[in-house]
A and B are shown apart, each in its own frame.
Chain A
Amino acid sequence: MNHWTYTRYELLRTFRTRRFVILSFGFPVVLYFMIAGPNKHETDIGGTGISAPLYFMVSLAAFGTMNAILSSGARIAGERQVGWNRQLRLTPLSPRHYFRTKVLTGYLMAALTLLLLSLCGSFLGVRLSGAEWAHMTLLILVGLIPFAALGILFGHLLSVDAIGPAMGGTTALLSILGGVWFPIQNGVLHDIALLLPSYWLVQASRVAIGGKSWTATGWLVVAAWAVALGAAAMWAYRRDTGRA
Chain B
Amino acid sequence: MIELRGLTKSFKTPQGQVDAVRGIDISIDTGETVALLGPNGAGKSTTLDMLLGLLRPDAGTVEVFGAPPADAVAAGKVGAMLQTGALVRDLEVRELLLQLASLYPKPLDVDETIELVGLHDIAARRTQKLSGGQTQRVRFALALVTNPDLLVLDEPTVAMDVESRHAFWTTMREFATRGKTVVFATHYLEEADDYADRAVLMANGDVVADGPTTEIKARVGTRSIRATLPGAALEALERLPGVTRAERRGESVVLTCVDSDAAIRALLAQHADARDIEISGAGLEEAFLELTR
List the interface of chain A (C-beta within 8 A of B): 1-3, 5-6, 9-10, 12-14, 16-17, 78-79, 82-84, 86-87, 89-94, 242, 244
Contact = CB atoms under 8 A, between A and B. Distances in A.
Interface stretch (B11-19, B52-60, B177-185, B239-247): B52-60
Given A1-B104, A82-B85, 6 more contacts: A13-B91, A16-B90, A86-B54, A86-B85, A92-B73, A242-B55
Which residue, of A2, A87, A93, A244, has the highest number of chain B Cβ atoms within 10 A?
A: A87
8 contacts: A1-B76, A86-B54, A86-B82, A89-B73, A90-B73, A90-B82, A92-B73, A242-B56
B291 interface: no
A83 B90 contact: no
A87 to B, nearest CB: 6
A92 B85 contact: no
B88 A82 contact: yes
Interface residues of B, number: 33
A3 B98 CA distance: 12
B102 A82 contact: no
Contact of B146 (A78, A79, A91, A242): A91
Nearest to B80: A90
Which secondary structure dominates where chain B touches chain A? loop
Nearest to A91: B103
A52 B74 CA distance: 53
Given A87-B142, A90-B73, A13 B102 contact: no
Interface string B6-40: 00000000000000000000000000000000000
A91 B104 contact: yes
A131 to B, nearest CB: 39
Contacts, number: 82
B116 to A, nearest CB: 19
Contact of A9 (B52, B53, B80, B91): B91
B88 A84 contact: yes
- The 7 closest A-B CB pairs, nearest first, are A83-B85, A5-B102, A9-B99, A82-B86, A16-B90, A92-B76, A13-B90
B100 A91 contact: yes
B268 interface: no
A146 B92 CA distance: 33
Contacts of A83: 82, 84-86
Nearest to A20: B90
